[in-house]
Amino acid sequence: MSQSHTSSQIGDLLVAAGLVSPDSIESALVMSKGRKSPLGKVLVESGLVTERELNGTLQAQNLIRERLISPEKASDVLKLMRVNGDTFVDNLFSLGCEIEAINFGRNLGKLFVDAGAISPHKLSLALETSILSGLPIVRVLVLQKSVNEMVAYAGLTAQLLVNERKIGYDQAVGALKLSHMHNEHIEEILEFGGLKRYREENSVRLGELFVLSELISELDLLSCVEKSMAEAKPLGQVLVDEGIISELIVSSALRAQKYIAEGTVDPVRAAQMLGLCAKTGRPLEFSVEELAAMKPVMVRPFSELKENLSLVDMIEIIGIVNSAELEQVRLVEQRESDKLEQFLVNRGFVDQEKLDAIKAGHALISQGVLTAEQLIFAFHVWLWRRGDFVSTLNLLGWKA
């Protein structure tokens, strides 16, 4: 989507809500083009809207694009923001807008707040970022380093057990608090506290098996688990719908779970089997001899697979250059690395603004300030928001 189209949408929303007059938008658009600065930045600097109102407009824009809210309802929310100064999300709920995914995220976030894992301010920031980016809130919390993967997964587990009425809300809060304090699995804490066992000894969750098989990252798993819970769909179905895992591999993973439960194979060996199925397209049905021949090998966590990335590696994982073009880019990288950036821009693979953002992010990864996953997340938020890339990082809670 072009920046001019995005600007016109923002202007239309602000005019429809009565926050800015049409004449003021026209003047701001002229200034925006003259300064080569985003419309939103011009509007804030001119005092026509506040930073909070601009962020609310960007959230409204995304929800309209996803057909989760009507333009008329979005205008009502923005009008109310001008009156009371509250956040877009708070006003959205005060007007009775029930958006299932946001409602689930808000309830899940409240559980983290009540357990002392995050502050109300961090929850508010994460909700805004979740709407801006389209990512589930638990993944946003991890990317913003508000919680780690284990605590995030503990929160999802606690929410699931509450939804299934296996534990009360107070028990969920207490267990999540201990999980956050001691960085331990929530089931172990619940069992240690005298509650019944929630998992059989020889059991591995479907998502955990996919992570162990290196078929999905922990961050992607968190997103899919939250979506599974919010939409009341089996995790396997969500993974297939999202195009992350094929139906064949999901059915193979379910059989692998059965092997583990029966004690036929250990989880690491089952994960190897599943990884082989994904590579060969062969269903998971092995002979006893084949099972015996497979020796468990410890697999590297996903985070370790993304170390020492080159600039071209970053372009590949961000996904803005297709595979055919990427081969040409890698050839230039190998033969004339000093001309790589010029080649990327001249051939139209990326414009200078995108290249500068990728380089800035790549430098932050090299310095250990950001992870590759955080950069991908920030870059795609920036693509919609544009403007200064560092400002987007600051909006997401990362001080560059």
Q: How confident is the model at residue 77, as a pLDDT?
A: 92
Q: How confident is the model at residue 296 (pLDDT cuts 50, 70, 90)?
A: very low
Query: Each residue of 268-277: pLDDT tens digit?
Result: 777 888 888 8
State yes or no: pLDDT of 342 exceeds 80. yes
d(CA 314, CA 356): 12
Copy the structure tokens of residue 48: 């026509």
Contacts (Cβ under 8 Å, ≥6 apart) of 235: 206, 207, 224, 225, 228
Distance CA 78, CA 74 (A): 6
Q: What is the pLDDT of residue 76?
A: 93
Most confident of the following: 36-40, 286-290, 304-308: 36-40
Taking alpha carbons only, the member of 74, 67, 66 closest to residue 12 is 74
338 pLDDT exceeds 80? yes
User: What pTM was estimated for this model as a whole?
Assistant: 0.61
How is the chain split into domains, by residue range? 3-94, 100-192, 231-302, 307-395
DSSP string, 50-77: -HHHHHHHHHHHHHHHTTSS-HHHHHHH
- Residue 17: name the closest of 54, 72, 85 by CA: 72
- Secondary structure class of 165 (helix, strand, coil): coil
- Identify the pLDDT of residue 203: 62
- pLDDT tier for residue 299 given thresholds of 50, 70 and 90: very low
How sure is the predictor about 302, in pLDDT bands with cuts at 50, 70 and 90? very low
Q: Exposure of 335 by Cβ count < 10 A (0-12 exposed, 13-18 middle, 19+ buried)?
A: exposed
Kindly report each contact of residues 321-327 with a partner whose C-beta sits within 8 Å and lies 24 or more positions away, as own/partner: 321/349, 321/350, 325/349
- Which of 66-70, 196-200, 337-341 has the lowest average pLDDT? 196-200
Higher pLDDT, 187 or 103: 103
Element (H, E) at 236: helix 235-241
pLDDT of res. 307? 52
Question: Which residue is listed with tokens 């919609």?
Answer: 384
Q: How confident is the model at residue 292, as a pLDDT?
A: 52
Dist CA 136 CA 126 (whole Å): 9
Residue with token string 């939103």:
40
The alpha carbon dihedral of 149, 152, 154, 156 has a sign of negative
Model confidence pLDDT, tens digit, residues 88-126? 888 988 888 878 878 888 889 999 999 999 999 999 888
Distance between CA atoms of 132 and 161, rounded to whole angstroms? 29
What DSSP string describes 14-30? HHHTTSS-HHHHHHHHH
Query: What's the rounded Cα separation, in Å, for the pair 365 and 206?
Result: 31
Higher pLDDT, 113 or 204: 113
In whole angstroms, give the CA distance from residue 365 to residue 361: 6
pLDDT exceeds 70 at position 3 = no
Mean per-residue pLDDT, 211-229: 80
**221: pLDDT strictly greater than 50:** yes
Query: 44-75, pLDDT tens digit by residue?
Result: 888 999 988 988 998 898 888 888 889 999 99
Considering 71-75, 141-145, 204-208, 274-278, the range whose residues carry the highest mean pLDDT is 71-75
The residues, any chain, with a CB within 8 Å of residue 19's CB and separated by 6 or more, are 48, 49, 53, 78, 79, 82
Instruction: For residue 200, give the H/E element and its range.
Output: none
Confidence label for 285 from pLDDT (cuts 50, 70 and 90): low
Nearest-CA neighbor of 318 among 364, 369, 374, 376?
Answer: 376
Of 127, 147, 125, which Cα lies nearest the Cα of 137? Answer: 127
Residue-level pLDDT at 1: 43
In which band, very low, low, confident or very high, does the pLDDT at 33 lie, cut at 50, 70 and 90? confident
Q: What pLDDT score was predicted for residue 23?
A: 92
DSSP structural state of residue 49 = S
Torsion sign across C-alpha atoms 80, 82, 88, 91:
negative
Q: Please tell me the least confidently modeled range out of 46-55, 356-365, 380-389.
A: 380-389
Higher pLDDT, 298 or 137: 137
pLDDT greater than 80 at residue 259: no
Confidence of residue 192 (pLDDT cuts 50, 70, 90): low
Closest C-alpha to 11, from 31, 26, 32, 30: 26
